[in-house]
Amino acid sequence: MERCCPRGGERALYCGQAASLVRSEGDLGCHTGTISDAFLELWKAGKLTNARKEVERIGRMSNVISIDGGVELDLMGQENAESAGTRRLSGIGGQMDFLEGACRSRGGKGFICLNAVHRYKDGTLKSNIVPYFFSGSAVSVPRTMVQYVATEYRIARISGQTLRERAEAMIAIAHPDFRDSWAQYAQEHFQ
């Protein structure tokens, strides 16, 4: 376990797992949006140093695949992984590090995966592919860093595309109930 780099949020590393890492010879790093008690115990034990946690190191490896989730993406490919408007839902953790590392990696690919819609208890649908973010929503990952977006409908490659092409690719992976409205928006805004 020496020099490993666990990555995760508040539920990714549990205290029992941390206890075994505390007893290891480890010189560990972590990528996380939230520090749980388990990560705190590693830090207190002097095992969590982050001495070798560098984006450049990820990028020097070949064929790095980064798979992360998001809250919503707009038609340009910007990702919000943190909020619903001004209400914070999560942290970004190591997402940017791994996406950048995948972009730098020879043969690497970065994927943002999400459900095309959120279904409320009353059955109404909210699209997670949106024309634009509402005021106060976080832009966690800029459009220049997003290579691929996956929903249950398909995978869209948006890197290297014009804004119009990005919008068309994002509309194709949106829920069918929203595609016509988003296509009309794209027609009006992405010439």
pLDDT digits (tens, 9 = 90+) for 141-191: 999 999 999 999 999 999 999 999 999 999 999 999 999 999 999 999 998
pLDDT digits (tens, 9 = 90+) for 7-34: 444 444 444 455 555 556 666 766 555 5
Tokens of 66: 């980064």
Q: Could you give the percent of the chain with pLDDT greater than 90? A: 50
Strands 87-88 and 83-84: antiparallel
CA 106/CA 35 separation, integer angstroms: 31
Question: Measuring CA to CA, which residue among 130, 160, 162 is closest to residue 146?
Answer: 160
pLDDT digits (tens, 9 = 90+) for 123-135: 999 999 999 998 8
Strand partners, 148: 111, 157
**Could you tell me how many residues make up the chain?**
191
Which sequence spans correspond to the domains of the chain? 1-53, 55-189
Instruction: Name the strand (E) or helix (H) holding 132.
Output: none
Q: Please name the CATH architecture into which domain 55-189 falls.
A: 3-Layer(aba) Sandwich (3.40)
E strand spans, 31-108: 65-69, 72-74, 79-80, 83-84, 87-88
